[in-house]
Amino acid sequence: MTDLSAIVYQSRRALLLFAAIAVLGGLLVWALQQYGQSLRPEAAAARDEQARLQSTLTGKQEELALLSANMPRFEAPRQAGLLGPADREGWAQTLTKVHQASGLPNTLSYSLKPPVAVAPGDPSNPVAPFQTHELALSLEGIHESELLELLASYGAQVKGLFRLQSCDLSAPASQGLTAKCELRFFKQPLAASSPAPSS
């Protein structure tokens, strides 16, 4: 045996172990490459989903910024009583309170008619139609200046926007006039009322 053959013969175990490790390493590299290729579609789908969610988030953030920018414009009509549910009971209570505070004769009578939609509402539309509410009031034994003061005080205290629709002053007498006035309140409910169930 030559020296090289003797060295190979003596180190055959180490060479066999090295060959086995090299084969196992090669198999491991091949298996990892196959596993990586199988994950590529999932990774691409995850990236696409992340991009879609990022786009949705960006859109929602833009909507939030728009709402935040326009909130003061919405808040002013709501604070004035134009938006939201109609405070019909509050309108009547304020009228009674203002009348009592004015010291006028106790001849006030009023009626609050049912709300009237300005335009018919579409049942599929979640936004309720704009409404008007007529408050008819009658006073006896009042002078014109007292009526104007009463209406001005009422307008300053009531929560809601209204217009003096009509006012009829009649039957002049020594104790004063008879006043019959109609006030029209304007209201935009924020949500359409659900239809009554059919029986």
Same domain, 62 and 141: no
Give the pLDDT band (50/70/90) at residue 127: low
Cα–Cα distance, 199 to 184 (Å, whole number): 34
User: What pLDDT digit, counting tens, does each position of 69-82 carry?
Assistant: 888 887 877 777 78
Residue 195 lies in a domain: no
Residue 198 lies in a domain: no
pLDDT of 199 reads 38
Give the pLDDT band (50/70/90) at residue 50: very high
pLDDT of 120 reads 67
pLDDT of 169 reads 92
Give the dihedral sign, CA 64/67/70/74.
negative
Q: Is 172 a residue whose pLDDT tops 90?
A: no
Specify which residues 110 forms β-bridges with: 137
Same domain, 168 and 122: yes
User: What pLDDT digit, counting tens, does each position of 143-170 carry?
Assistant: 899 999 999 999 999 988 899 999 999 9
Residue 162 CB-density burial (10 A; 0-12 exposed, 13-18 middle, 19+ buried): buried
User: The domain containing residue 66 runs over which residues?
Assistant: 1-79
Instruction: Work out how many domains the chain is built from and give that number.
Output: 2
pTM of the model: 0.59
Q: Is 179 a residue whose pLDDT tops 50?
A: yes
DSSP symbol at 103: T
Same domain, 137 and 171: yes
User: What pLDDT digit, counting tens, does each position of 80-97 carry?
Assistant: 778 888 899 999 999 999
Give the pLDDT band (50/70/90) at residue 52: very high
Same domain, 48 and 108: no
Residue 199 lies in a domain: no
Same domain, 97 and 146: yes
Q: CATH number, domain at 124?
A: 3.30.70.60
Residue 194 lies in a domain: no
Last residue of a domain, one of 24, 48, 79: 79
Mean pLDDT across the chain, nearest whole number?
86
Last residue of a domain, one of 79, 99, 122: 79
